[in-house]
Structures are given as structure tokens and as C-alpha cells.
């Protein structure tokens, strides 16, 4: 390991049951950050692992009639050897708190803190939340329920060792105030400052009667409190007390990711532990929001878990990673639905990105015999280069700030700009225009080069897609450095083969496929197979196609492509959101007759209900709405 290393951690997860999409959320985020920092040429230490001791695991094992160690071995094996490889997690170290090495480090730290008077012996009386493995004083508990998770707490009265948090209260408060980036997002920092200002009680750091844990040195009746043991895993994994040089290079962590429910442990107990050990504190502790189903957090004990392995088997690893990284602002809560995953894939990946690649290569083949044209600097073509430069800087800035969804969305901006560039520049028209050859070359080169840049910018986030784009551009599949995202590196003159679609359009498997109705580009996707398989007349008859008159049309604020249409079907009106704004001025549509799929399941686009889909034909980037050739009343059936 070199001079200084970029160190990121996820929580170490309880192997009390198989992990779910919530755990994948944090771990994929840490993975994307790690991949980015490696591309920047930094040494990276990315640590994840499992938190194996404590009463919760002890009870789960007992309920199944197996020893705790056998119980955790099975689950940990599935996490380490199946789940993380399936999601392409590139951690450098997987720490288990049952590793003998870790046990020694925890005991050494316990002894040192006891020797220096930071740990003392006393009696604990208060509450314990088993699912959270957290102690709560009487002052915080109402109706015997946990103030954090709302589940019942147990009364505990026992002799116990205590960690003198109170001694460090003022120093911690000062640190929080002096380092506003230490706890992020900033709303959580304020919560923590308030919490500390209310006064810190010393923390019980041992349990009597819990056998499944690390023994208190010299006192066999007690085991060390599972959170004390767990937090120290970040030190053990970096080589504390065992590999001084590695530790020197890695410490302190640059980013520690976790869900918001455990920020308190990481923003109070953890920094105080490090202060007591005279160690520098992490640069930042980031508490992201929760994935919810409906209004409920997805959680092991709540019975609403989603298995990431099954999702990857159904949809592929990149759609799952893309959804996790893109869907929810990192820091906020967000709802998980399978339909939303399908929609994200169809709209952003299959439609915007897949079509851009497919159309670009098709045009290079059609207008330049498949050869990458030269770029001619004398002829101005500044549009995409400027966007690509901006986007590259934005992605980097967002990643430095751990704003993952914004980073991914920034890449989408370049994709959308390139699609719009096709509409604006109309390469098919330049092809027909005498004397426009050089301009056409520049347009085609700019599109290909944008795709190459996109492949680099996506490589921290997606595993397979960047390589697949690059192969179609005739490049080696791997991206080696972030500098490859700079404009102007596409070699000219080589021949491009006909591409294959990047993403098949998905339907939510095993459910009503309502997701395709959510597709904002009303145009049939040019990446879709040219000739669908035959259908019967009965199948065709299931479509309720109607003539509709556009009564009102307005652009959906904040989008490039969506128009909200109010359609008259004769005896009824309905609202349809359509992705045609790049082709039609909204106002110009009023009064026109279109054809609408009237029995499509309603869906919501940008929060607006859409009750159908208007039909349009598309070719080579052009789009034409479909309507009756002769006047006919709205509501007429099309068959």
C-alpha cells in the first residue's frame, strides 16, 4: 500500500438472517465510490463485513436449535460468497467480528481504556432494545418501547462495565461544531449536536448473561457489548495494532456510510472511542435514508424484505445497481417498487442510452460506411464537447460530496443532450445536403465521442454496460483511468459493426406489466426488434385504440420531453403524459386528432397520472404523431 489510502466503510451487518436490498443499497454506494477513487489513481481500502456477536444472534441461533457459530457461518458464507459477488461488490477486506485477530484487538482496547480510567465497573439499570442492540435510560423510554425503532424494550438490571462518554462530551460537541462536514447530511449533524447538548450518560459496555460475545479480559462473567465490539471492526480492518504501516496509510476513514438509524452510534460513541485512543476521527460519517415499501422501512424483522440476488437474476446486475444509485436522493428516504426499477431501466437505460448508441452506430454505418469519421477542428461543433466537460466535472464533484444519485443523473444529462443534438442537427438532412460532409463528420464524431465519455463516467456505477458500449465503439472494454473521460480521445478511422441493443425493454416479471405505459418516449423504441412476432386477431382486439382530439397541451415543468395532453374521446376526457416535447411545441397540438391506446393501465409520470398512450411513428430520430387521414369524431374506434 502506498502513501495515503482512501478508506471507505459500510456498517458491518448482523448475520441474523440473509441480507436484503437495504443492505445492498449501502454496499453498492460504497462500491461506486471505491471504483471512482480507484479510477482516480488512489489506493482504496473498502471494508465491509459482519457483526456476529450479541444477544440477537444468540437468540436467533437458539430458536433454530444450532450453535451461534454454526448459525452465523452459514449466513456469512452466503453474504460474502454469493450476495456481494452477484452485485459486483469490490471490497478489499471482509471483516468478521469472530475473526481471532479482531477479538484480540477488542480486548486490547478494552484493557487500555480500563487502565486509563475511561472504563469503570458499576451497575446498569435501564432498558435494552434487542433488535437494535441498544441501551436506553429511563429518561428516554416511554411505554416500554424503543425511542429509535418503536419496538418493545426489555428491562435490564446488571453489574456492568461503563465507558465514560461524559468525560468527552465537551470535546465531542466542539468537534461537531468545528467540523460541519463530520456528520452528513447536515440535518443529522444538528440532531447530533442537540443530542450531545442534552448531556451524555456513560455507556454500559458489557453484558452479564450473554455468552455469545468477546469476553471481558479477566472477568469471565461478562462479555463486551456488541456495539463496542462492532465499532472497533473499522480499526481492526485497517490494521490497528497488527499492521502498523497499513494502518498508517489508511487511518482515518474518508467516508463511513450507514443508514440514518445508526448515525448516533457513529457520531457519538465512535468518535469518543477514538478520542480516548488518541486517534484521528473519520473525515465524514454519512447517514443515508431508508428504502421503504409503502411507508415502512424494509427490514429483516419486518417481513418485507426483497432479495437482491433474485432481482439480479430477473433483471441483471446493472439495472439493479442503477436503480439503487439513481432512484433516491442519497440522504433521503425513498420508496422501492419493482415497477420503479423496471421504469428506470426502460426510460434511462433502454430508451435514452440504448437508443443513443443504437441510432448513432446505425447513422455511422449509413452515412459513413461504418467508419469513425475524423473530427475537423476548423468547423465549430462545440455543443456536446462543452456538455461533456461540464458533466465530467459535475460527476466528480457529486462523488466527492457523496451525492450519488446526482452523479448518476449528471451522466444522464450528457445522454439526453446527445439525443437532443441528433434532433437539432438532423444528420440525415446533412447527409443529403451538398457540401455538408465535414459538418456531418463532426456531428457523428461528437455523438460517438459522447458515448465513449459516457462509458467512462458510468464505470463506477455499472459493471457490464460500459464495456458493452465500448465494444460497440471498437474500444477495449475496460476503463483504466478517470482521465479517459476527457473529450477527444476516440481513435478515428476504425470500422464499427452493427450494434446489439444494450438493454432489452423490461416488464415487471410476474406482474401486470404496467411499467411500459410509464415510458415517456411515446415513440416506439428504435432499439426494439424490427419485426415483432405475429399476433392473433384476438390479441390485436384487446387493444382499445381510439381517435382523440387534443383539447389542451402543456409542457411538464422541469422536463425536456414530457407534454401533458388533455384528450377528448367524445363522451369522456382523459389526461395523457407523452414524451414528444422534443418534436412538437405543446401549443401546436391543440385541436389535432391523434390515436390513443385507451385501455392501457394508468400510471404516474413525474407525479402526473397518465391514462393512456398516444401513438407515434419514428425513424432515424424523426417522430410523427399518428392520426386519422380524414375527419372523424373523437372516440371513434381504430381497428
Q: Please report the DSSP string for 560-612 in residue order.
A: SS-EEEEEE-SS-EEEEEES-TTTS-GGGGTT-EEEEETTSPPEEETTEEE--
Closest CB to ligand ME8 among residues 25, 182: 25
Closer CB to ligand ME8, 296 or 599, in the complex: 296
Taking CB under 6 A as the rule, does residue 353 contact ligand ME8?
Answer: no
25 sits near ligand ME8 (criterion: CB under 6 A):
yes
Q: Which of 5, 6, 7, 22 binds ligand ME8 (CB under 6 A)?
A: 22
The answer to the question of residue 298 lying near ligand ME8 (CB under 6 A) is: yes
Q: How far apart are CA 211 and CA 266, in angstroms?
A: 25
Q: Are 292 and 333 in contact (CB under 8 A)?
A: yes
What radius of gyration, in Å, describes the C-alpha atoms of the chain? 29
Separation CA 375–CA 459 (nearest Å): 25
Least Å distance between CB 617 and ligand ME8?
43
Residue found by looking up cell 425513498 in the block? 334
Burial class (CB in 10 A: 0-12, 13-18, 19+), 261: middle
| 255/518 with CB nearer ligand ME8 | 255
Supply the angle between the helices 404-425 and 21-39 in degrees, to the nearest 10.
Answer: 70
Which residue carries 442537540 as its cell?
Answer: 194
Taking residues 242 to 261 in sequence order and writing x for each that binds ligand ME8 by CB under 6 A, - otherwise, the string is ----------------xx-x
Q: Does 23 bind ligand ME8 (CB under 6 A)?
A: yes
Note whether 138 and 144 are within 8 A (CB). no
**Residue 137's CB: how many other CB atoms inside 10 A?**
12
Residue 51 found at the interface with ligand ME8 (CB under 6 A):
yes
* By CB under 6 A, residue 87 contacts ligand ME8: no
Q: How far apart are CA 6 and CA 44, in angstroms?
A: 5
Residue 48 CA to residue 549 CA, distance in Å, equals 57
Among 6, 228, 240, 290, the residue binding ligand ME8 under the rule CB under 6 A is: 290
Q: Nearer Cβ to ligand ME8, position 261 or 484?
A: 261
Give yes or no for a contact between 84 and 217, defined as CB atoms under 8 angstroms apart.
no
Nearest CB to ligand ME8, comparing residues 299 and 621: 299
For ligand ME8, which stretch binds (CB under 6 A), given 20-28, 308-316, 344-352, 467-475?
20-28
Nearer of residues 259 and 579 to ligand ME8, judged by Cβ: 259
Residue 623, strand partner residues:
618
Tell me which residue has its CB nearest to ligand ME8.
Answer: 22
Among residues 335 and 622, whose Cβ is nearest to ligand ME8? Answer: 335
- Contact pick of 8, 12, 417, 623 for ligand ME8 (by CB under 6 A): 12
With binding defined as CB under 6 A, does residue 11 bind ligand ME8? yes
Q: Which is nearer to ligand ME8, 230 or 457 (CB)?
A: 230
297 binds ligand ME8 (CB under 6 A): yes
Asked if 299 touches ligand ME8 (CB under 6 A), the answer is yes
Stretch of 17-25, 102-110, 186-194, 217-225 contacting ligand ME8, by CB under 6 A: 17-25
Q: Which residues of 160-193 are buried (b: 16+ CB within 10 A; e: fewer)?
A: bbbbbbeebbeebbebbeeeeebbbbeebbebbb
The count of residues in the chain is: 639
Residue 70's CB is within 10 A of a number of other CB atoms, namely 10
Consecutive H or E run containing 96 = strand 93-96
Of 133 and 611, nearer to ligand ME8 (C-beta) is 133
Q: Which is nearer to ligand ME8, 310 or 489 (CB)?
A: 310
Q: Does the protein bind ligand ME8 through residue 26 (CB under 6 A)?
A: yes
CB of 478 to ligand ME8, least distance (A): 30
Q: Which of 75, 87, 235, 291 binds ligand ME8 (CB under 6 A)?
A: 291
Pick one of 231, 410, 462, 490: the residue that binds ligand ME8 (CB under 6 A): 231
Binding region for ligand ME8 (CB under 6 A) out of 5-13, 38-46, 120-128, 310-318: 5-13
Q: Can you say whether the dihedral through the CA atoms of 32, 37, 39, 44 is positive or negative? A: negative
Regarding 262 and contact with ligand ME8 (CB under 6 A), the answer is yes
Q: Does 430 bind ligand ME8 (CB under 6 A)?
A: no
Stretch that binds ligand ME8, among 9-17, 393-401, 500-508, 541-549 (CB under 6 A): 9-17
Task: Decide if 419 contacts 352 (C-beta within 8 A).
Answer: yes
- The verdict on 33 binding ligand ME8 (CB under 6 A) reads no
Q: What angle do CA 593, 598, 601 make, to 5 degrees?
A: 140
Min. distance of Cβ 54 from ligand ME8 in angstroms? Answer: 8
Instruction: Catalog residues that contact ligand ME8 under the rule CB under 6 A.
Output: 11-14, 22-23, 25-26, 51, 230-231, 258-259, 261-262, 290-291, 297-299
Amino acid at each position: 500500500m502506498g502513501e495515503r489510502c482512501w478508506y471507505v466503510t459500510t456498517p458491518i451487518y448482523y448475520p441474523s438472517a440473509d441480507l436484503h436490498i437495504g443492505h445492498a443499497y449501502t454496499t453498492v454506494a460504497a462500491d461506486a465510490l471505491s471504483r471512482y477513487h480507484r479510477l482516480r489513481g488512489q489506493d482504496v481500502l473498502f471494508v465491509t463485513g459482519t457483526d456476529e456477536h450479541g444477544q440477537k444472534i444468540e437468540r436467533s441461533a437458539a430458536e433454530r436449535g444450532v450453535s451461534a457459530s454454526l448459525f452465523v457461518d452459514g449466513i456469512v458464507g452466503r453474504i460474502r460468497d454469493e450476495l456481494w459477488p452477484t452485485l459486483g461488490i469490490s471490497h478489499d477486506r471482509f471483516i468478521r467480528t469472530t475473526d481471532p485477530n479482531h477479538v484480540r484487538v477488542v480486548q486490547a482496547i478494552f484493557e487500555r481504556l480500563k487502565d486509563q480510567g475511561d472504563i469503570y465497573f458499576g451497575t446498569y439499570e435501564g432498558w435494552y432494545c434487542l433488535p437494535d442492540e441498544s441501551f436506553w435510560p429511563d429518561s428516554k423510554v416511554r411505554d416500554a418501547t424503543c425511542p429509535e425503532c418503536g419496538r418493545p424494550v426489555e428491562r435490564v438490571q446488571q453489574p456492568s462495565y461503563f465507558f465514560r462518554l461524559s468525560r468527552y462530551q465537551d470535546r465531542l460537541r466542539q468537534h461537531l461544531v468545528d467540523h460541519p462536514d463530520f456528520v452528513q447530511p447536515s440535518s443529522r449533524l444538528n440532531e447530533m449536536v442537540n443530542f450531545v447538548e442534552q448531556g451524555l450518560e456513560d455507556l454500559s459496555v458489557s453484558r452479564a448473561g450473554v455468552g455469545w460475545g468477546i469476553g471481558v479480559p479477566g472477568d469471565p462473567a461478562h462479555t463486551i457489548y456488541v456495539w463496542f465490539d462492532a465499532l472497533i471492526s473499522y480499526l481492526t480492518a485497517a490494521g490497528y495494532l497488527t499492521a502498523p504501516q497499513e494502518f498508517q496509510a489508511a487511518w482515518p476513514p474518508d467516508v463511513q456510510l450507514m443508514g440514518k438509524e445508526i448515525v448516533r452510534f457513529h457520531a457519538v460513541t465512535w468518535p469518543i472511542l477514538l478520542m480516548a485512543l488518541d486517534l484521528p476521527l473519520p473525515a465524514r460519517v454519512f447517514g443515508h435514508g431508508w428504502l421503504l415499501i409503502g411507508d415502512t422501512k424494509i427490514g429483516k424483522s419486518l417481513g418485507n424484505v426483497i432479495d437482491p440476488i433474485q432481482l439480479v437474476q430477473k433483471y441483471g446486475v446493472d439495472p439493479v445497481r442503477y436503480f439503487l444509485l439513481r432512484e433516491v436522493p442519497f440522504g433521503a428516504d425513498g420508496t422501492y417498487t419493482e415497477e420503479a426499477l423496471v421504469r428506470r431501466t426502460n426510460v434511462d437505460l433502454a430508451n435514452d442510452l440504448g437508443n443513443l448508441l443504437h441510432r448513432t452506430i446505425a447513422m455511422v454505418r449509413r452515412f459513413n460506411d461504418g467508419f469513425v469519421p475524423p473530427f475537423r477542428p476548423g468547423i465549430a461543433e462545440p455543443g456536446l464537447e462543452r456538455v461533456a466537460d461540464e458533466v465530467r466535472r459535475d460527476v466528480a464533484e457529486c462523488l466527492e460530496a457523496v451525492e450519488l444519485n446526482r452523479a448518476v443523473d449528471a451522466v444522464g444529462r450528457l445522454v439526453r443532450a446527445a439525443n437532443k443534438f441528433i434532433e437539432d442537427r438532423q444528420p440525415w438532412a446533412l447527409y443529403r445536403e451538398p457540401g455538408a460532409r465535414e459538418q456531418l463528420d463532426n456531428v457523428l464524431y461528437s455523438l460517438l465521442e459522447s458515448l465513449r465519455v459516457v462509458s467512462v463516467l458510468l464505470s463506477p456505477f455499472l459493471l457490464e454496460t460500459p464495456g458493452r458500449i465500448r465494444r460497440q465503439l471498437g474500444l477495449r472494454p475496460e476503463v483504466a483511468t478517470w482521465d479517459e473521460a476527457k473529450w477527444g480521445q476516440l481513435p478515428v478511422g476504425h470500422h464499427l459493426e452493427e450494434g446489439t441493443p444494450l438493454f432489452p425493454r423490461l416488464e415487471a416479471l410476474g406482474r401486470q406489466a404496467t411499467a411500459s405505459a410509464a415510458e415517456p418516449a411515446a415513440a416506439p423504441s428504435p432499439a426494439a426488434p424490427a419485426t415483432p412476432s405475429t399476433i392473433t386477431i384476438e390479441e390485436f382486439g384487446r387493444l382499445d385504440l381510439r381517435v382523440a382530439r387534443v383539447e389542451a397541451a402543456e409542457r411538464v415543468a422541469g422536463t425536456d420531453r414530457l407534454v401533458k395532453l388533455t384528450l377528448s374521446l367524445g363522451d369522456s376526457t382523459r389526461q395523457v403524459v407523452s414524451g414528444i416535447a422534443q418534436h412538437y411545441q405543446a401549443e401546436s397540438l391543440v385541436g389535432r386528432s391523434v390515436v390513443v391506446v385507451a385501455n392501457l393501465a394508468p400510471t404516474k409520470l413525474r407525479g402526473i397520472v397518465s391514462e393512456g398512450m398516444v401513438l407515434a411513428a419514428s425513424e432515424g430520430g424523426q417522430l410523427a404523431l399518428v392520426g386519422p387521414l380524414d375527419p372523424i369524431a373523437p372516440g371513434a374506434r381504430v381497428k
